[in-house]
Structure 1
């Protein structure tokens, strides 16, 4: 888990961003140093929970192991996954994330409503790396 990127669990799970107190721009991943809006002189950055639901802006799948220089363990099997770019209307941003297990490009359409849910990126005998996933609304794991 990346500290400060999300909080809660179940229906209380939320991505955490920051909002500039001067221009109201919202950032995810969070920004803790300065406002990234080039038209803003900057101000205090306040942590804000992001909308739990958004609309599919774009999507794709990853069916192959990344080529060099990206490092992957060739001893481990490659697991295809689906990526979804989700527009959060209230925040006026697009957030990228993996689709929930079982969600494929065949089940997605641009404009479809999705919700953020907790997920597992990877795990071994000692550690579970948590993340967020996007899941079409009305679909339960």
Structure 2
């Protein structure tokens, strides 16, 4: 788990960002030292939960072993994964992440609604490292 990037479980699961008190810019990954807005000298940043839902901005399939912190056993066959760039509703920012297992690029369309859910980065010796995944929202949900 990457500390302070997300919190909660189930319907309370959220990515965590920071908002600048001076210019109201929101950042993810979070920023705790300074405002990343080059036109702002503000430095007071507060943690904010980000929108749970957004719309697919772009997507692709990963046909290579990802770099750290993702873990893959070189002794096992490689399984492709789906990456989704999602524009968050309220923040109007794009956040990249993997799709939930089982979602392929053929299941996605630009503009479709997705939501952030907890995912598993790796499991080893009884320890589970968590991350976030994007999951398509069912029509009418």
TM-score (norm 1): 0.90
Runs of 4+ aligned residues of structure 1 deviating over 3 Å after TM superposition are none
Other-structure match for 2:53: 53
How far apart, CA to CA, are the structure 1 residues paired with 2:23 and 2:76? 46
Q: What does 1:28-107 correspond to in 2, within 5 Å?
A: 28-65=28-65, 73-107=73-107
Aligned residue pairs, count: 136
Compute the displacement of 1:138 (Å): 1.6
- In structure 2, the CA distance between the partners of 1:13 and 1:66, relative to structure 1 (3 Å rule), is closer
- Deviations along 1:20-77, one digit per CA (max 9) or x if unpaired, are 001111000000000000011113100000000000000000123369xxx9652233
Q: Secondary structure of the equivalent of 1:106?
A: helix
Other-structure match for 2:121: 121
Q: Secondary structure of the equivalent of 2:116?
A: strand
How far apart, CA to CA, are the structure 1 residues paired with 2:106 and 2:66? 22
TM-score (norm 2): 0.90
